[in-house]
Amino acid sequence: TQLLEQSPQFLSIQEGENLTVYCNSSSVFSSLQWYRQEPGEGPVLLVTVVTGGEVKKLKRLTFQFGDARKDSSLHITAAQPGDTGLYLCAGGSQGNLIFGKGTKLSVKP
């Protein structure tokens, strides 16, 4: 059974700080995705990483896929209150995706 473990579960930081959240598995994934979910809404896709070692940047967010395609990280530079939300990683070889339990990020002004 493929599992995705995310850490930390909760993160509370001040505006302007940097942070990194992690997504790990013992299984190899053909791709991993990151979603952000705000309260009362469904998750929204941020990025898909496909190639081992790949790095993708989305403004202040940097996503990395591990060389062995078993893990991924999300780094946020100079966090802002608008970054607050639940960050979920997801992966799947085919068909449905499996999700990690998420990292709940709170950025205080």
Partner 1 sequence: KAGVTQTPRYLIKTRGQQVTLSCSPISGHRSVSWYQQTPGQGLQFLFEYFSETQRNKGNFPGRFSGRQFSNSRSEMNVSTLELGDSALYLCASSSPGRTSLYGYTFGSGTRLTVV
Residue ranges in contact with partner 1 by CB under 8 A: 30-31, 33, 35, 40-45, 48, 50, 88, 90-102
Minimum CB separation of residue 90 from partner 1 in Å reads 8
Cβ proximity to partner 1: between 13 and 98 the closer is 98
Give the number of residues written for the chain: 109
Cβ proximity to partner 1: between 45 and 78 the closer is 45
Residue 89 and residue 34 in contact, taking contact as beta carbons nearer than 8 Å: yes
Cβ proximity to partner 1: between 10 and 14 the closer is 10
CA neighbor of 13 nearest in space, from 90, 100, 96, 81? 81
Residue 79 and residue 72 in contact, taking contact as beta carbons nearer than 8 Å: no
Minimum CB separation of residue 59 from partner 1 in Å reads 19
Tokens 């078993």 correspond to what residue? 70
